[in-house]
Structure 1
Amino acid sequence: MSRISTWLITSSIQELITPQNSSSMASRVLVLASILIFSCFAETCYGAISFSSLQRTLVVTASHRQGLLKAGEDKITVRWGLNQSFPAGTDSSYKTIKVQLCYAPISQVDRAWRKTEDHLNKDKTCQFKIVKKPYINVNETLEWTIERDVPTATFFIRAYALDSDDHEVAYGQNTDAQKKTNLFEIQAITGRHVSLDIASVCFSAFSVVSLMGFFFMEKRKARKSQQ
Structure 2
Amino acid sequence: MAPRLLAGSLLTFCLLAESCYGTVLFSTLQPTLVVSASPKEGEVLRAGDDKITVTWGMNQSFPVGTDEAYKQVKVKLCYAPISQQDRAWRKTNDDLSKDKTCQFQIIVRPYNSSSQQSFDWMIERDVPTATYFVRAYAYNSDGREVAFGQSTDGQKKTNLFDIQGISGRHASLDVAAGCFSAFSVLSLFGFLFLEKRKAKTSQKS
5+ unaligned residues in a row in structure 1: which ranges?
Answer: 1-25, 197-227
DSSP-derived class of the 2:75 partner: strand
Once the two structures are TM-superposed, the CA of residue 73 in structure 1 deviates from its matched residue by: 1.6
How large is the Cα RMSD of the aligned pairs?
2.5
- Distance change (3 Å), C-alpha of 1:40 and 1:63: same
Moved more, 56-65 or 149-158: 56-65
- The residue identity in structure 2 corresponding to 1:121 is S
Counterpart among 140, 143, 161 of residue 184 in structure 1: 161
The one-character-per-residue Cα deviations of 1:105-136 (angstroms, maximum 9, x if unpaired) are 00011111111111212211111111122111
Q: Report which of the two has the higher share of helix.
A: 1
User: Counterpart of 2:58?
Assistant: 82
Q: Partners in 2 of 1:105 and 1:114 — Cα distance?
A: 9
Q: Partners in 2 of 1:54 and 1:194 — Cα distance?
A: 44
Counterpart among 14, 23, 43 of residue 48 in structure 1: 23
% identical equivalent positions:
60
Q: Partners in 1 of 2:121 and 2:94 — Cα distance?
A: 27
How is 1:13-32 mapped onto 2 (pairs within 5 angstroms)?
27=2, 31-32=5-6
How many positions carry a matched residue from both structures? 173
Q: Partners in 2 of 1:86 and 1:147 — Cα distance?
A: 34
- Distance change (3 Å), C-alpha of 1:40 and 1:133: farther
How is 1:1-227 mapped onto 2 (pairs within 5 angstroms)?
27=2, 31-46=5-20, 47-64=22-39, 67-137=43-113, 138-193=115-170
Q: Partners in 2 of 1:191 and 1:33 — Cα distance?
A: 60
Q: Partners in 2 of 1:103 and 1:154 — Cα distance?
A: 6
Q: Taking CA–CA contacts closer than 8 Å with sequence separation of 6 or more, which of the two structures ends up with the larger relative contact order?
A: 2
- Distance change (3 Å), C-alpha of 1:118 and 1:193: closer
- Distance change (3 Å), C-alpha of 1:151 and 1:41: farther
Q: TM-score, normalised by structure 2?
A: 0.75
Q: Partners in 2 of 1:181 and 1:189 — Cα distance?
A: 25
- Distance change (3 Å), C-alpha of 1:104 and 1:33: same
Q: Partners in 1 of 2:43 and 2:56 — Cα distance?
A: 23
Q: Partners in 2 of 1:38 and 1:125 — Cα distance?
A: 34
Once the two structures are TM-superposed, the CA of residue 191 in structure 1 deviates from its matched residue by: 3.6
Moved more, 187-196 or 106-115: 187-196
Once the two structures are TM-superposed, the CA of residue 81 in structure 1 deviates from its matched residue by: 0.2
